[in-house]
Amino acid sequence: MSDENKGVLQGFKEFLMRGNVIELAVAVVVGAAFTNIVNSVVKGVINPIIGALGSQNLDNYKACLTTCTVDRKSGEFTDGIYILWGSVLSAALTFLITAAVVYFLMILPMNKWKQRQEAKKPVDDTLAAPTEVELLAEIRDALIAQRNGSSSATGTVITQKQPQ
């Protein structure tokens, strides 16, 4: 095997062993399993509640964009262009329920846990390094004091330009 192939294979192995890839794979598997739960809740709980107003199957809700005909025996639409807004409503409900469960059962508790961990950390008593603006102000004050014949800077901030 050539060195180039070993390098590519080694790089691929390092990519796969990275923590992010494994965490992402676990998230996809858990998400797929969770999707089945949410779909069951929508079909078993939400759709019957909406069905109290009409059809229990949201896929039956549609609007005809052109002239549509209905087969009297089967009740099915035979021709025309339909907008299947019931399917969109079902997908939107599934998304909202999924987002709510993820937020309230995963994100919110994780954020609270992180806040508690941050609160437990000891307070850093060391002084922060001066910012670039503060350093430039000190240099400016020292130059002004030197130009005026003083040996030390007074620390006064001058906001107007001095005449030359």
Write down the pTM of the prediction.
Answer: 0.46
Of 34, 90, 26, which is closest to residue 62 (Cα–Cα)? 90
Tens-place pLDDT, residues 119-162: 888 876 677 788 899 889 999 999 999 988 765 544 454 444 44
Task: Please give the CATH number for the structural domain made up of 7-121.
Answer: 1.10.1200.120
Torsion of CA 133, 137, 143, 146, to 10 degrees: -150
Torsion of CA 77, 79, 82, 88, to 10 degrees: 50
Domain coordinates of the chain in residue numbers? 7-121, 130-164
Residue 1's pLDDT is what? 58
- Mean pLDDT in order along the chain per 10 residues (164 residues): 72 76 80 82 78 72 78 72 82 82 83 90 75 91 86 48 46
